[in-house]
Structure 1
């Protein structure tokens, strides 16, 4: 018997999000999707620096002068961002623009007091932007909601074209299909209980700043990151845009769930895989 399949779309975080669920009674799944999208809207109001009065908006206005109390959601996101800044040795940072001219160690610009759940910037004129991690972090919280509150165990969430999070299997137990989206080099893989994020200057139509060279990145490289959760894959897909091959290999070697796909016209091979991404793709 062909499994039930339900799909829902929602506009938020300056993109379209899509939730696909296999199995489950239609009305029950619809209610779960509605709550998931309401949660996304709530989190955007907390985490977006463009929302007046959001945690990040208030931090950017006040935290260089005084401690600012934040919500639990922002606190956990900031902790994860600091962990990733340390993991990447400063290549990833949610304050990259502010730190271009600052002489500061990775994660050394942010003071966090757990007892009061307050945050303060240790250097002046810092601006925080969760754009490199926020969408993935929101997907992780929605994933938790759908699993714990709605007992769903097989679904996929897309955040535009940048990040996809897969939970469980698409029957008959083959994972969820994903593509690297390489125009002339089709690369397909299946995802299960993991996330895949992609970065490219052409796709993002934006710039990426390199703290080490203190300049905007110029490259035709395209990168994808595999990780056990969406916040990490979101952050690392951008990180891999900035790193040399040996740096990517070293980073993926730090955790068993980390992987990378890189398409770089200056490299010999059309697609290079690192870490958990090795032997994961096919061209059929």
Structure 2
């Protein structure tokens, strides 16, 4: 069930102002009384709809929401590869030629991505820009590249070809044609930064922030429930169904699936989540959902787990007890697999 949350203000155009009610990924329970209701605000950014839910009666709710969305807008301008003026586009142009100084937050984000690449043995890699373009997942048209083209793109992929110098806070690419694309981590990072702004600058104790269906950050607890925020996990093949619910308190959730971005090839649906080791779309999973301390990490690991599959995810969670996951394999009549989550924090529904 979806909260019929009260909007912050009247609906406006989708270019980026505060919008009215939505029906995206939100808590499931119906409020039992008016004082348990939520205020909701939304704005379009990063090619999706971001929302913030605040407890009813939060002082200066509109100001808080606008501050969070302004921060997300700022980060989109920094991280996008679709604007030549962004800091990331500038980095991709200049880093093959020289060490390039970058903003501290971006440097730390690249460092986090490098750690995830190393810990997943290359299943996650933000340097797959050339590969994404070869498959037409950048600006289209989507297509299956020839083997020679795919091999050429693969030669330009690899976080080992990126030098991060913490002393000078510079980035250098050692491989010509290498391009970083932060689409697999940018939304989560934006949620983290927006949540940090609300927590530090406004002393906000509780809020739920999300970007589309795939990225969530839960601050504190939802009204009337000391356990945290109850979040529904959408079924990848049926938006009206839920795989289950998880409860988050000062935690994040990220989901990867190939439901909405794919191409047809020889009777097969090939998704946009490319294995950077083979250059081919990952095909063993239908969906991977991750619970992690930050939304950036949850997003990155959701992509990695989608590629690693069940066994690789179990091994990772065994090494990292702070990480949990709900996986749905791609085979027919698959049953969700839970890794690293306490029974009281997750409930899986009958998906048969």
Q: TM-score, normalised by structure 1?
A: 0.91
Greater alpha carbon shift after TM alignment, 82-91 vs 206-215? 206-215
Verify the 8 A CA contact 1:55 1:74 in the aligned structure 2: no
| Structure 1: segments with no counterpart, 5+ residues | none
- 1:21 aligns with 54
Greater alpha carbon shift after TM alignment, 156-165 vs 216-225? 216-225
Kindly state the Cα deviation for residue 64 of structure 1 after the two structures are TM-superposed: 0.7
Q: How does 1:1-284 map to 2 (within 5 A)?
A: 2-3=35-36, 5-26=38-59, 28-98=60-130, 101-102=154-155, 107-172=159-224, 173-182=226-235, 183=238, 186-205=243-262, 206-219=271-284, 221-266=286-331, 270-276=335-341, 280-283=346-349
Kindly state the Cα deviation for residue 204 of structure 1 after the two structures are TM-superposed: 4.0
Provide the rounded CA distance (Å) in 1 between the counterparts of 2:261 and 2:200. 33
Instruction: Please provide the CA RMSD for this pair.
Output: 2.3
CA distance 1:213–1:222, shift in 2 (3 Å) = same
CA distance 1:23–1:274, shift in 2 (3 Å) = same
Three-state SS of the structure 1 residue aligned to 2:70 is helix
Three-state SS of the structure 1 residue aligned to 2:159 is coil
Deviation digits for residues 158-179 of structure 1 (CA, Å, limit 9, x no counterpart): 1011111111111221421211
CA distance 1:278–1:223, shift in 2 (3 Å) = farther
Three-state SS of the structure 1 residue aligned to 2:180 is coil
Three-state SS of the structure 2 residue aligned to 1:243 is helix
Provide the rounded CA distance (Å) in 1 between the counterparts of 2:234 and 2:256. 11
Verify the 8 A CA contact 1:200 1:223 in the aligned structure 2: yes
Kindly state the Cα deviation for residue 268 of structure 1 after the two structures are TM-superposed: 7.3
Aligned length: 282
Provide the rounded CA distance (Å) in 2 between the counterparts of 1:52 and 1:103. 20
Q: Which contiguous aligned blocks of 4+ residues in structure 1 show a shift greater than 3 angstroms?
A: 23-26, 97-100, 183-186, 203-206
CA distance 1:25–1:272, shift in 2 (3 Å) = closer
Deviation digits for residues 96-131 of structure 1 (CA, Å, limit 9, x no counterpart): 244753398x63111122232211001111111000
Three-state SS of the structure 2 residue aligned to 1:161 is coil
Greater alpha carbon shift after TM alignment, 267-276 vs 45-54? 267-276
Provide the rounded CA distance (Å) in 2 between the counterparts of 1:54 and 1:97. 15
